[in-house]
Structure 1
Amino acid sequence: MSFGHVVFIGLIALALGVACWFGARPGKNQVIFRSSALLTITCCYVMWAVTYLAQLNPLIAPIRSDLRVE
């Protein structure tokens, strides 16, 4: 199910990118607006995906404090 979440959020990010691409008003700053909007969406998605996937399989196993040393 974790892969499904990543794909679903990726599709939402893709839809936002398409909306920003076609929703940009024509003018002298159209390219700057498109570039910054797409970079922002991409960076936010990649950061979310890395954080989400890292929590699924942590590198350091948690240490239980309720175990007694014998």
Structure 2
Amino acid sequence: MIISQRDSSAWATGDIIYLSIVGPLMLAALFEWVLWLSAFLYCLIKVWMKADHWSIRVLAVVMIFLFTVLR
């Protein structure tokens, strides 16, 4: 590889600093999103399991579907 080609494809210092700051924040946001979704789905599944009436079960299934699709 020619040195000039290697230097032109090297990352800029600003890009490295940006990724070192924003990268972990984006991973934390993704982790928070997964935890939020799993917590609400857990609660809605518990509602479905403890439901005494069929209408509550239908509502729980609808909410599970909406939370999953919209989130």
> What is the TM-score normalised by the length of structure 1?
0.43
* Structure showing greater Rg: 2
Q: Which has the higher contact order (CA 8 A, sep 6+)?
A: 1
Q: Which has the higher helix share?
A: 2
